Amino acid sequence: MPRFSQLTFQCLTLAKWYTGRRVSYGDYQKYLEADGYAWSSKAGKFLEEFGGLSIKFKRSEGWDSVNLNPCLAVDSFDSRWVLDSYASRIDGGKTYCVIGQAYSDHLLLFMANDGQVYGGFDNFLCFVGASGDEALETLCFDKKLLALP
For the chain, give every domain's residue range. 6-143
The pLDDT tens digits for 48-62 are 999 999 999 887 778
How many angstroms separate the CA atoms of 114 and 41, rounded?
9
How many angstroms separate the CA atoms of 59 and 50, rounded?
21
How far is CA 106 from each of CA 27, 113, 130, rounded to the nearest angstrom? 23, 23, 21
The pLDDT tens digits for 21-78 are 999 999 999 999 999 899 999 999 999 999 999 999 887 778 889 999 999 999 888 7
Is the pLDDT assigned to residue 126 strictly greater than 70?
yes
Q: What is the 3-state composition of the chain as percent helix, strand, coil, each rounded to the nearest 5?
A: 35, 25, 40
The pLDDT tens digits for 88-109 are 888 767 899 999 999 988 999 9
Q: What is the pTM of this model?
A: 0.92
